Amino acid sequence: MQYKQSAASLSFSGLVALAIAMGIGRFAFTPLLPMMQNDAGLALTQGGWLASANYLGYLVGALAAGMLTYAPATLLRGGLLLVVVTTALMGLTDTWPSWLVWRFMAGVASACVLVGAASLCLSRLAVLGESQRAGQVFAGVGSGVILAGLLCMALDLASVRSAHAWLVLAVLSLLGMIAARPLWLAPTTTPAPTSDNHHEGISGAAYWKLVLCYGLFGFGYILPATFLPAQARMLIADPAVFGLAWPLFGVAAAVSTLLASRLFAAWERRKLWAACQIIMAAGVLLPVIWSGMGAIILAAICVGGTFMVITMLGMQEAQAVGGRHAKKLIASITAAFAAGQLIGPMFFSLSHAWFNADLNFALVLATVGLVLSSIWLLMPDHNVRSTQESDTSTSKIST
């Protein structure tokens, strides 16, 4: 049937767009960090600053995309083009200050693509009556991580320099941009209006509780997401082995996104969110207490298998309890997440430079933050009029 084919094509185009924006624009630096350490002399602390530049760009891009009047298709097209250009420039330049600029701009671009792709895909899928395909679209994040990780591992095994690897990824980004063209070429559609929550929303204290919990999630997940391959490289010299850490992260992210809908019906959102953060906390702490490749693999699975699920749960919870302020609450938790993931690598870089603290110290702190956030989530908000029961069956994945 035609509408199903259109929905399938739309989902695939959205998946590709997010795979390029997130798998390459945001996260390709992670599997490339060990290569850049080896052949470009990049220090681990410098790598932390490059990661922070990207996360700062993501924060700026998310805020800008919310304030700019550009159409989602324009944000998507411009963001993908900027991902292609900045990825190529990472291979064409060889100075750390220039890399800071390119990684910042790539972060801005990836946020614009996320906003544009989500707006276009979710609205058009709703018109087609195929909103359940949203999980397929957001599986693009994990798929991009898998593709970039395996490609970088193969290039490392072939003794390809990191600069050339960046150029290969730039070509891949260009091909992905071409594949995603149906997203901005198709005519704009508007979904039928849905009933909003009619409650006023949560109080100020409950509002900021949700924002801070989501920010702690950003801080807790970003350190292993940034440094897992580098940790694996310190344990095992064979790139065929340590290079698998990041692709495993991506596999867990993609599979969890596709399977999570079955759990949504059986668990309350905040309980499932808290449980996922406890699993993530175990993954963050494992490399600290167990110095082995097995710990790295389990950490990749624990963190990669929960971070996209928590992302969707956080967005759903904000929509459900925010009432007429839901849009503002969604924007606030997104900004908190971006701030948390910006602070993580920056905290490691500063603590290492000033106090000679190793990565384990930052990982322990991230673990504590995730556990505290989980406990806080399970504490009831007595001054909020909950709509959890009525919204669980009707809420859709939004991001």
Mean of the pLDDT values across residues 141-157? 88
221-248 pLDDT, tens per residue?
Answer: 887 776 766 666 666 666 656 566 667 7
Burial code (b: 16+ CB inside 10 Å, e: under 16) for 347-357 equals bbbbbbeeeee
109-133 pLDDT, tens per residue?
Answer: 998 888 788 777 767 877 787 767 7
Instruction: Spell out the alpha helix ranges (H) of the chain.
Output: 2-18, 29-39, 44-67, 72-92, 96-127, 134-157, 162-179, 182-185, 204-235, 239-242, 245-264, 269-289, 293-304, 307-321, 326-355, 359-378, 388-392
Q: Residue count of the chain, please give it.
A: 399
The CA distances from residue 62 to 59, 83, 331, in Å, are 5, 15, 9
**Given a cut of 90, is residue 398 above it in pLDDT?**
no
Q: State the Cα–Cα distance between residues 86 and 105, nearest whole angstrom.
A: 7
Mean of the pLDDT values across residues 326-335? 70
CB 198 within 8 A of CB 177: no
pLDDT (0 to 100) of residue 278 = 96
CB 165 within 8 A of CB 153: no
pLDDT (0 to 100) of residue 290 = 84
Q: Which residue has better confidence, 97 or 249?
A: 97
Q: State the Cα–Cα distance between residues 62 and 56, nearest whole angstrom.
A: 10
The CA distances from residue 222 to 90, 215, 227, in Å, are 21, 11, 9
Q: Provide the 8-state DSSP code for 193.
A: P
pLDDT (0 to 100) of residue 90 = 96
Ordered domains of the chain (ranges, CATH)? 1-191 (1.20.1250.20), 202-399 (1.20.1250.20)
Q: At what angle do helices 359-378 and 269-289 cross, to 10 degrees?
A: 160
* Residue-averaged pLDDT of the chain: 80
Least confident of 14-23, 167-176, 322-331: 322-331
pLDDT (0 to 100) of residue 160 = 93
Residue 21: pLDDT band with limits 50, 70, 90: very high
pLDDT (0 to 100) of residue 190 = 46
